[in-house]
Amino acid sequence: MNTPEGMTLGPYRVMERIGRGGMASVYRAYHTALDRYVAIKILPDFFADEPEYRERFQQEARSVARLKHPNILEIFDFGYEGGLAYLVLELVEGGTLADRVGKPMELQEVVRLLEQLGGALDHAHASGILHRDIKPSNILIHKDGTPVLGDFGLAKMAGSLRRLTGSGTVMGTPEYMSPEQAADEPLTSASDVYSLAIVAYEMLTGRVPFEADTPAATLLSHVTKPMPATRELRGELSAHVEGVLRKALAKSSQDRFQTAAAFVAALKPAAWPNRRGDDLSGLMPATRRVSRPDRIPVVLVVDDGPANRELIEACLADVDCQIRTAEDGIGALKAIQTWHPDLVLLDVQMPGMDGYEVCRRIKATPGSRLLPVVMITSLDDTSDRIRALESGADDYMTKPVDRIELVARVRSALRLKGVYDSLDSAEHVIFALAAAVEAKDPYTEAHTQRVADSARRIGAGLGLSASEQDALYRGGLIHDIGKIGIPDAILLKPGPLDARELATMRMHPAIGENIVAPLRSGAALLPIIRHHHEHYDGTGYPDRLAGTDIPRLARIIAVCDAFDALVSDRPYRSRRTPEDALATLRTGARRQWDPEVVDIFVSDFGAVSRMGAA
C-alpha cells in the first residue's frame, strides 16, 4: 500500500494518518468545496487489484452506505484511484472505545453506550447486514460521548480469504469472534450479539473472557470453554449481570438473546437501582430510539425428571414463548432471579426443597409475588390441591398432563401476567415523591396520611362508593405532590410570603396535576390535586371555581386539609386547638368550604380524632 499522505483522492486532500488496523489505515482528509474534514480509510491492495474484490467492495459499500442511523458511522463516498481503494467516512475525533477499556467501567456508563450501539446493530440486522467484526477499536466515540459503530461489512468484503492462514494470521479479531464464526459456520445476527457481549464483558471487567497464546487457541476457547466468572463485579447485582452475560455468550446461538436490544434490556435493571435517585435519562440513548420487537414471554419449567421437562417443552412447542428449565427448587429460585420468567410450571415432589416451599418463597418475594405459578404433580388428593393453593399457587394440574389443557392454561396464565405487567408501576414512584415532599418539612410529618384517613372517613359518611373512597384516600396522600416544584426557601419560610412568593406557591396544584397526569390509574386523583385550594365562593385557585363546580372529592380534601393544617404547627404560627379549628371551619362554610362537608366533618369529629387526625 502506497503512503497517501499529501495525495489527492478525488476531491479529497489526504492529510495525516490518524489510525491503523489489521486491514486498513485511516487518514484525516479535507474536501475543499464543502469545507469539510472527513476520514478516509485506505483498504488493502487486493480490494483495488482483484476484480472479485472490486465487485464485492462496491456491493458492500453501497449496502452499508444505505444504513442511516445516528450510531452507525456514516459512509459519504468510496472509490479507486492511484491503485488504492478507499472509503470516505464521517470524522469522529473523540477516540475509540479501545482507549477506555483495560479497567472496569461503571455499569451505568456501560449500559448507556450499549443501548445506543445495540440500537445501531439491530437497525443493521433489520436491513440484512451483519457486522462480523465488533470490537472496541471499531466503536468510535464522539466528543460528546455518543458512540458510533464503524467498519460494517469490511470483514465480509474480505470474506473469501482464509481467516486462518498457514502462518497463523487470523482475518478478524479472535478475542471477539462467536463460536460459529470461529468454526467457519454460517452466521446470523446472534453472532454479532455475542461479539457485543464480549465487548460488554471487557467494559465491565477490564479484560476479555477468552485469551490464549495463539489466535487458534483463542478461537478454540470460544467454542469449548465456559465464560470465566466476572470476579471484578461486586455487590448484590453482580450475579444478575453475570447471568445476563452468560446467556449472551452461550455457545449455541439459539440460547442467546436474539437481539442486541434484548441483551441490553436484561442488563438495565441491574443498572437502575445504583443510580440512587439520579435522573434516569442518562440510561436512555442520546439519539432517537429504533423500534424494538416485543419481548417473548419466558416459561420456567421446574421438575427433577429430565423426561418430564422435555415432555412439557414439547407440549408447548406451538406457544409463543421461551422455555427455561430448572431441576430443583434452589435452581428454580436462581433461575427466577436470572431470567425473570412470566410463568412457572412447578413440580411438587422434588428432592431437597419441595414445590410447596418454592412457591411460598416466590410469592413472599416482592419482585415475584405476581409471578403466576402452576403446580404440576402426580398427587391428586384434595388435600394436596388445598396445600398448593395455600402455598400461593395460581393453578394446579395433575400428571400425566393433557397437552391441549396445558397449552390453554399456559396461555391463560401468560395473559394474566401481561395484565400484571401493564399495571402502572409508576404509581409507586408518584407516592414516593409525595412522601419525599412531606419529608422536606418537619412541620408536616404524617400530614398527608391524616388527611387521607379523615377524607376517606368523610366520604363514607357522605355515602360515596368504595372507588370514590379509595380515590379520596390516594388523593389525600398525594394532593400536595406539586410542592416538589416549589423552592424550599418558600416552602419553609418562617414568615408571611410576599406577592411573588405567593404566586409561586399557588403553582403547586398545576405542577402536581402535570406530574400525575401520565399515570393511567391517576385519572380520579387529578381533580383533587388541581382543585383542593378552590374556595366555595369562587375566590380560590387555580381556576376560581365556585360551589358545586368544584369537584366533590376536592371539596372533601379541602376541608380535611384545612383542619389538619390548623391543628398543626407551622413555621409562621403555632397550632390551634381542635375546638378553635372546628370553629374556623364553621365560620368559613359557604365562603371557603362546602357546608355539607363541614357539617359531616364536625359531626363526625370524634371518630376522626380517634383515627389520629387531631
pLDDT tens digits for range 247-306: 999 999 999 998 999 899 888 755 543 433 333 333 333 333 333 335 689 999 999 988
pLDDT at 236 over 50: no
| Per-residue pLDDT, 279 | 38
The three-state DSSP-derived secondary structure of 57-70 is: HHHHHHHHHCCCCC
Match 466528543 to its residue by C-alpha cell: 143
The pLDDT score that the predictor gives to residue 4 is: 66
pLDDT at position 528 is 95
**Amino acid 42: pLDDT:** 82
pLDDT tens digits along 576-586: 899 999 999 99
**Would residue 6 be called left, alpha or beta, if left means φ above 0 and alpha means ψ between -120 and 50 degrees?**
left
Confidence of residue 120 (pLDDT cuts 50, 70, 90): very high
Query: Stretch 401-423: mean pLDDT, rounded?
Result: 79
Provide φ and ψ at 95, rounded to 5°.
90, -165
Residue 62 or 36, more confident: 36
Bridge-based pairing of strands 373-377 and 147-149 is unpaired
Cross-strand bridge partners of residue 9: 12
How sure is the predictor about 191, in pLDDT bands with cuts at 50, 70 and 90? Answer: very high
Comparison of pLDDT for 358 and 320, the residue scoring more: 358
374 forms beta bridges with 345, 395
CA distance 573 to 579: 17
Using CA atoms, how far residue 584 sits from 479, 485, 563, 604, 611, in Å, is 22, 30, 9, 16, 21
Of residues 548 and 491, which shows the higher confidence score? 548
Single out the residue of 408, 404, 356, 391 nearest to residue 377, CA to CA: 356
Split at pLDDT 50, 70, 90, the class of 441 is low
Highest mean pLDDT among 196-200, 401-405, 480-484, 502-506: 196-200
Residues 100, 449: Cα–Cα separation, whole Å: 50
Q: Give the residue-averaged pLDDT of 24-50.
A: 80
Residue 576 burial by Cβ neighbours in a 10 Å radius (0-12, 13-18, 19+): middle
Q: Is 404 exposed, middle or buried (0-12, 13-18, 19+ CB in 10 A)?
A: exposed
Place 422 in a pLDDT band, splitting at 50, 70 and 90.
low
Inform me whether the pLDDT recorded for 160 exceeds 60: no
Q: Which residue has the higher pLDDT, 171 or 354?
A: 354
CA distance 52 to 42: 18
- Per the listing, cell 388435600 goes with 383
Residue ranges of domains in the chain, CATH in brackets: 8-89 (3.30.200.20), 97-283 (1.10.510.10), 298-421 (3.40.50.2300), 426-611 (1.10.3210.10)
pLDDT score of 383 more than 70:
yes
Q: What is the DSSP letter of 226?
A: P
Give the separation between CA 532 and CA 478, rounded to whole angstroms: 11
- Provide the angle, in degrees to the nearest 10, between the axes of the packed helices 306-315 and 403-422: 80
Q: Do 503 and 526 form a contact (C-beta atoms < 8 A)?
A: no
Least confident of 139-143, 467-471, 491-495: 491-495
Greatest mean pLDDT among 47-56, 99-108, 491-500: 99-108
Among the listed ranges 305-319, 446-460, 592-606, which one has the minimum average pLDDT value? 305-319
The pLDDT tens digits of the residues spanning 328-382 come to 999 999 999 999 999 999 999 999 999 999 999 999 987 788 899 999 987 777 8
